[in-house]
Amino acid sequence: MKLKDLNSITEALKENRVNKILYSGEKTRRIQEILSMAKKQGVPVYRVPMKEKIIADVSPVKFSGFDEIINKAISSNSFILFLDNVVDQRNIGACIRTAEFFGSAGAVIPKRKGGGIGEGALRASAGAVFHIPIARVENIASALKKLKKYGFMTLAADLDGEDLRNVSFTNPAAIVVGGEDKGVSQPVKKQCDAVVKILGSGKTSSLNLSVAAGILMYELCRQKY
């Protein structure tokens, strides 16, 4: 959802719903205030050639704090879903829908290298984005490193991993799913206790990332119960 009105953008920032801001380069006092407010929140700001003075990409959901999700995962002995480099809104929504179905404590997306939560994700999630906490972090690798200090098992899905069937899961856990083209980044893999792959018997070499995420979450929950 795009906002151009300065008052609306300011209110969206107050509610922690802005994914990113584009501006033409013109800096009136009001625009400067908005840009400063965005930068304090860690909202990406980009200067681009355009006829509008400023545009905010706004999420339909209010983001939660990462620590809030950590505490929920620990208290419920559940898992957190991380989306690394996932930009397709349909995949984001589908993954979040599955995470909510399996009782995830929350979902985490990067502030800069991610697709945010837009109308496409809202539709693909069938409304699940309103029923699960979603946080944004500056760096997923650093976030996983923090989780390991709390005793979380961290694992990622990637084609160069070991057979999913040979891995024993423990909770609380963090599951990382990589993007459509880039997959899980190397710094993130280094913070994972296990990197797993899903073996098939057909000619297709890989699964859609949201399908792979669903299988991984199912296996985690199956072993838990």
Judgement on whether residues 40 and 141 belong to the same structural domain of the protein: no
Q: 80 Cβ partners below 8 Å, 6+ apart?
A: 69, 70, 73, 104, 105, 106, 107, 108, 147, 152, 172, 173, 174, 175
Residues 86 and 121 in one domain: yes
Tell me how far CA of residue 137 lies from CA of 3, 26, 113, 134, 180, in angstroms.
Answer: 23, 29, 10, 10, 20
Instruction: Measure the CA angle with vertex 133, ends 128 and 137; round to 5°.
Output: 125
Mode of pairing for the β-strands spanning 18-23 and 45-47: parallel
Residues in a beta bridge with 81: 107, 175
Tens of pLDDT, residue by residue, the chain (225 residues):
888 889 889 988 988 889 899 999 988 999 999 999 999 988 999 999 999 999 999 888 888 999 999 999 999 999 999 999 898 999 999 999 999 999 999 999 998 776 688 878 888 988 888 889 999 999 999 999 999 999 999 999 888 888 998 988 889 999 999 987 788 999 999 999 999 988 888 888 778 899 999 999 999 999 876
9-37 pLDDT per residue, tens: 998 898 888 989 999 998 899 999 999 99
Tell me what percent of the residues of the chain surpass a pLDDT of 70.
98
- Same domain flag for 210 and 131: yes
Verify that 24 and 78 share a domain, yes or no: no
- Counting the structural domains of the chain, the total is 2
Q: How many residues does the chain have?
A: 225
Q: Please, what is the average pLDDT of the chain?
A: 91
Note the pLDDT of residue 115: 66
- What pLDDT score was predicted for residue 50? 93
Residues 41 and 77 placed together within one structural domain of the fold: no
**Whether residues 140 and 85 fall in one domain:** yes
82 within 8 A of 177, measured Cβ to Cβ: yes
| Residue 51 phi, psi dihedral angles, 5° rounding | -80, -30
* Preceding peptide of 172 cis, ω within 30°: yes
pTM score: 0.82
pLDDT score at 66: 96
Q: Which domain holds residue 11?
A: 2-58
Residue 183: CB atoms within 10 Å:
20
CATH number of the domain bearing residue 46: 3.30.1330.30
**Which of 40, 58, 76 lies at the terminal end of a domain, its last residue?**
58
